[in-house]
Amino acid sequence: MRRALALIFLLTTPLLRAEVQPPRTPFDDYLVAPLRVHRLVTPGELNLTTTLEEKDLHRIFEKVNRIWGHAGVHFALEPILTEPAANPNAYRQNHKSRQLRWLLAIRPKASRKADCFHIYYIKRFLANGVYIGRDGMFVKDMARLRTVEDGVSEPIPRVTAHELGHALSLRHRQAVTNLLASGTSGWTFNAAEIKQARDAAKKMKWIRAAPEILKAADALYKKGDEKKAAALYRQLATIPLRCPETARAVLRTKED
């Protein structure tokens, strides 16, 4: 009953209008989606070389997860990969094209993995970002947005969160403060969008409920398999919520 009431509260909360305030979603309502981040750094190819460092990406995803925390969705970063783009010729031949499916050709093959989302960061292309599929989201360093009142103060976290919205089945909605508006700094959801995104996440078997992950981590920890337990605790440790469950995850991650 408590969880049901908490979720009803989440889905009926009015649109939030402040600069990415900490979410109030209870731990038990979080859905956790693994995500692999790719820093494309390509020798001799400035446009295929991101200027974002790992520390920048961790900061960016703190904001991304604050946004998505209001929908009870958390993106758990795997270790960030730095790798050269595959097939730089694809960029040279297509960089002026607004048909962006050619970007799929620059994904390094060896680091593709099923059962997670993939986002690639490069210097520039002809959009702020694009969603082509679960394993093909691209964001550029030089993203620019139209500022709206109480919008996200930095473009890249908002663009990243926007593309992840498409990954969770959301379509554009041109209300300027909305996360799915085109080209604005808005970040809010409405109740219907929250429900739609959560329903889409629940259909992906590799996206798990936070309590389920915690239970599995605790069981491994109790058996003495601290390394495997820590891998699961890390998925929970960055949830933007202060509670006993995240505190335990942070502590046991540090023990590894």
Per domain, the residue ranges of the chain are: 27-202, 209-255
pLDDT value for 227: 94
Q: What span, in angstroms and rounded, lies between the C-alpha atoms of 26 and 36?
A: 25
Q: What span, in angstroms and rounded, lies between the C-alpha atoms of 141 and 47?
A: 10
pLDDT value for 101: 97
Query: 44 vs 94, 121, 124, CA distance in Å?
Result: 18, 17, 15
pLDDT value for 29: 98
Q: What span, in angstroms and rounded, lies between the C-alpha atoms of 30 and 25?
A: 7
What is the residue-wise DSSP string for 200-233? Answer: HHHTSTT-EEHHHHHHHHHHHHHHT-HHHHHHHH
Q: Give the count of beta carbons closer than 10 Å to the beta carbon of residue 185.
A: 23
Q: What span, in angstroms and rounded, lies between the C-alpha atoms of 131 and 164?
A: 8
What is the residue-wise DSSP string for 225-255? Answer: -HHHHHHHHHHHHTSS--SHHHHHHHHHHHH
pLDDT value for 155: 97
pLDDT value for 249: 97
Digitized pLDDT (tens) for each residue of the chain, 256 residues in all: 344 434 433 443 444 344 688 899 999 999 999 999 999 999 999 999 999 999 999 999 999 999 999 999 999 999 999 999 999 999 999 999 989 999 999 999 999 999 999 999 999 999 999 999 999 999 999 999 999 998 999 999 999 999 999 999 999 999 999 999 999 999 999 999 999 999 999 999 999 999 999 999 999 999 999 999 999 999 999 999 999 999 999 999 988 6
Structure tokens, 155: 């473009």
**Tokens 């390394």 belong to residue:** 227
pLDDT value for 21: 82
R_g of the chain, CA atoms, integer Å: 18
Q: What span, in angstroms and rounded, lies between the C-alpha atoms of 223 and 86?
A: 42
pLDDT value for 255: 81
pLDDT value for 190: 95
- Spell out the long-range contacts of 134-143 with Cβ–Cβ below 8 A and sequence spacing 24 or more: 134/167, 135/107, 136/103, 136/104, 136/107, 137/163, 137/164, 137/166, 137/167, 138/100, 138/103, 138/163, 139/163, 141/50, 141/51, 141/52
Tell me which H or E stretch contains 36.
Answer: strand 31-40
Q: Give the count of beta carbons closer than 10 Å to the beta carbon of residue 62.
A: 13
Predicted TM-score of the model (pTM): 0.91
| CATH number for the domain whose boundaries are 27-202 | 3.40.390.10
pLDDT value for 47: 96
128 close to 183: Cβ distance less than 8 angstroms: yes
